[in-house]
Amino acid sequence: MFYTLNHYPDDGNSALFAEIIRTDFLHLTFRDLAGHSKSQWEDFVGTIKKFITHNNIKMIVMDASGDPYNLDYNHKGYSYSLREVQQQLNKECKTIIVTDDWRYYYKPNIDIKFFSQGFYHQSQRNLHKYYDYEHTVYDTSIEKTRPLMCLNRNKEWHRIYLLYLLHKRPWFSKVDYTFILPLDKEYILSDSNLDKPQFTDEEIAYIEQIELPILLAHEKNKPIPVMFTHGASSIDNKVFRENAINLITETSVLDVVGVCLTEKTAKAIMAYQIPIVISNPGASQWLEDVGIDMFSDYIPWKQWDTIEDPKLRISTIAEFVNDIMQSPQSILEKHKSFYLRLQANKERFHSQEFGDLLIKQLH
- Residue at 204 is within a domain: yes
Looking at the fold, whether 159 and 238 belong to one and the same domain comes out as yes
- The per-residue pLDDT for range 169-189, each reduced to its tens digit, is 999 999 999 999 999 888 887
Looking at the fold, whether 88 and 226 belong to one and the same domain comes out as no
Q: How many CB atoms lie within 10 A of CB 331?
A: 21
Looking at the fold, whether 215 and 296 belong to one and the same domain comes out as yes
- The per-residue pLDDT for range 194-231, each reduced to its tens digit, is 778 999 999 999 999 999 999 998 777 766 544 443 34
- Residue at 72 is within a domain: yes
Looking at the fold, whether 333 and 189 belong to one and the same domain comes out as yes
- Residue at 324 is within a domain: yes
pLDDT of residue 8: 64
pLDDT at residue 133 greater than cutoff 60: no
Looking at the fold, whether 76 and 173 belong to one and the same domain comes out as no
Looking at the fold, whether 268 and 347 belong to one and the same domain comes out as yes
- Look up the domain containing 282 and give its range: 146-362
Structural domain tally of the chain? Answer: 2
192 pLDDT tier (thresholds 50, 70, 90):
low
Least confident range from 216-220, 247-251, 339-343: namely 216-220
Q: Which of 39, 69, 99 delimits the end of a domain?
A: 99
Looking at the fold, whether 357 and 224 belong to one and the same domain comes out as yes
Looking at the fold, whether 246 and 165 belong to one and the same domain comes out as yes
Mean pLDDT of 300-329: 98
Q: Which of 38, 65, 99 delimits the end of a domain?
A: 99
